[in-house]
Amino acid sequence: MEHADLLGLGAAVLLAGLLARLARRYGLPSVPCYMLVGIAFGPGTPGPVLVEHPAELSLLAALGLVLLLFHLGVEFPVDQVVGGGRRLFMAAACTIGLNVGSGLLLGLALGWGVPEALVIAGALGISSSAIVTKTLIELHRLTNAETPVILGIIVIEDLFLAVYLALLSPVLSDADTAAELAGDVALSFGFLVLLFVVARFGARGVGALLGSREDELLAVLTIGLVVLVAGVSQEVGVSDAIGALMIGLVVSRTELRERVERLVLPLRDVFAAVFFVTFGMTIEVADLGPVAVAVALAVCLTVLANVSAGAVVARLFGFNQRAAANMGLTVLGRGEFSLILATLAIGAGLDDRIGPFVALYVLFLAVLSPLLAAHARYLARIMPDWMLRPGWRWCFPDETLVRAPLGTSRK
């Protein structure tokens, strides 16, 4: 990397951090800020260009992607998912099914191709854990009755992401025949199963390999193992993100989990910022206009799918209109996972419109979702009683769940 690229990268990351700090004051997430700086100062936008060739930053961006997924695996609450019960899995299946299904239909309707439709389905189907959690904290809803269900759903979505990436990677490969594609799918899932087995039975060995009393050595050994497994995953035709996520699950089952999580978090945040800035630099501003209508449709579909899922989940758990509206509008945020899928699509040489489409979609929802979630009570007012379980009613202005007779009037 030349000194000019180092200068430009440093300036871009600094500007991204300053913009994110400003956005935090107004309750906005940092991911769109990083992307905006990348777009504004990338080669695809008129004006000053900080990095002429963003492709030269691909290794640093890949490291950000790998650390992002690894940290997700480390903090993945397996016990919470397993203990969530059948209703939680039904709720997550409903939410994922409606979002991924609507995204797939939109992708096919756009006519960009089947692989592109699968990427769009994933981009529309997975909520941003960071944005959802941040929204719950800032709106002071952590103690609401529906919040554990929301958190359980986004955790299961993260698990679904691993399976979806394993399925999508062979589809994005260069397989020429159906038999070759089937072989790639089998290899992908075989590697995924192998990593699950290691997570189940090999955690002690991995803990012994990484174990060190010195934080410096633990960090070096951990990052080395993560990058190695991600590289092996890529070599066998599986996404490097899958390998990073699964080795994170392995580490989460060791006694080193809390130390690793603490040590890797700052590295994840820095390199993830580089990933988002670099992704923004690959976007041509002129390409955003042609996908604006498609993005508007995608946003409308996402809102409709999540509001519908919120009503179904509320009925399943016996919640009222306020909880149903909160659930439907809180999980609208899309971010890191949608951009990961877009990055894979760009790397596989799919339709050039995928990158601008996902970028504009993420930017729009990252700003819209906290605003809608903060005003969920207006949606709750117009939700009809038949959508929810009989006997539960919405009562204003109390934030808590209130059971009232069906004949009770709303205040």
pLDDT on residue 406: 34
pLDDT on residue 389: 58
Instruction: Name the residue range of residue 259's domain.
Output: 61-403
Name beta bridge partners: 403.
Answer: 392
**320-355 pLDDT per residue, tens:** 889 999 999 999 988 878 888 888 888 888 999 999
Q: Could you give the number of structural domains in the chain?
A: 1
Q: What is the DSSP string of 73-107?
A: HHT--HHHHHTTHHHHHHHHHHHHHHHHHHHHHHH
pLDDT on residue 407: 35
pLDDT on residue 143: 82
**CATH at 198:** 1.20.1530.20
Q: pTM for the whole thing? A: 0.76
Angle (CA) 85-91-96 rounded to 5° is: 125
**271-312 pLDDT per residue, tens:** 988 988 998 898 888 889 999 999 999 999 999 999 999 999
pLDDT on residue 85: 74
pLDDT on residue 128: 83
pLDDT on residue 408: 34
Q: What number of other Cβ atoms are within 10 A of residue 33's Cβ? A: 26
How confident is residue 103, by pLDDT bands cut at 50, 70 and 90?
Answer: very high
Residue 126 lies in a domain: yes
Residue 315 lies in a domain: yes
Residue 385 lies in a domain: yes
pLDDT on residue 151: 83
Counting every residue, how long is the chain?
411
Phi-psi label, residue 318: left if phi above 0, alpha if psi -120 to 50, beta otherwise: left
Indicate if the pLDDT at residue 212 is higher than 50.
yes
Indicate if the pLDDT at residue 104 is higher than 50.
yes
Alpha carbon of residue 106 to chain centroid: 19
Q: Which is more confidently placed, 245 or 108?
A: 108
- Among 117-126, 156-165, 300-309, the minimum mean pLDDT is found in 156-165
- Residues 314, 320, 322, 325, Cα dihedral to 10°: 30
Residue 161 lies in a domain: yes
Tell me the average pLDDT across 365-394.
Answer: 77
Tell me the average pLDDT across 49-59.
Answer: 87
- Among 80-84, 172-176, 399-403, 405-409, the minimum mean pLDDT is found in 405-409
What's the one-letter identity of residue 210?
L
Residue-averaged pLDDT of the chain: 83
At residue 347, the 3 state secondary structure works out as: helix
Tell me the average pLDDT across 61-86.
Answer: 77
How confident is residue 118, by pLDDT bands cut at 50, 70 and 90?
Answer: very high
Q: Which is more confidently placed, 82 or 381?
A: 381
Distance separating alpha carbons of residues 391 and 399, to the nearest angstrom = 17
pLDDT on residue 340: 85
At residue 402, the 3 state secondary structure works out as: strand
Q: Which is more confidently placed, 38 or 128?
A: 38
Residue 184 lies in a domain: yes
- Among 120-124, 200-204, 312-316, the minimum mean pLDDT is found in 200-204
Distance separating alpha carbons of residues 218 and 388, to the nearest angstrom = 51
Tell me the average pLDDT across 63-87.
Answer: 76
Tell me the average pLDDT across 98-103.
Answer: 95
Indicate if the pLDDT at residue 409 is higher than 70.
no
How confident is residue 14, by pLDDT bands cut at 50, 70 and 90?
Answer: very high
Indicate if the pLDDT at residue 405 is higher than 80.
no
How confident is residue 397, by pLDDT bands cut at 50, 70 and 90?
Answer: very low
pLDDT on residue 83: 63
Residue 304 lies in a domain: yes
Indicate if the pLDDT at residue 27 is higher than 60.
yes
Distance separating alpha carbons of residues 5 and 8, to the nearest angstrom = 5
Indicate if the pLDDT at residue 360 is higher than 60.
yes
Name the packing angle between helices 257-281 and 354-374 (round to 10°): 120
**131-146 pLDDT per residue, tens:** 887 788 778 887 888 8
Nearest to 340 by CA among 240, 225, 190, 229: 240
Residue 42 lies in a domain: no
Q: Element (H or E) spanning 393, and its range? A: strand 392-393
Residue 86 lies in a domain: yes
- From first CA to last CA, the distance across the chain in angstroms is 64
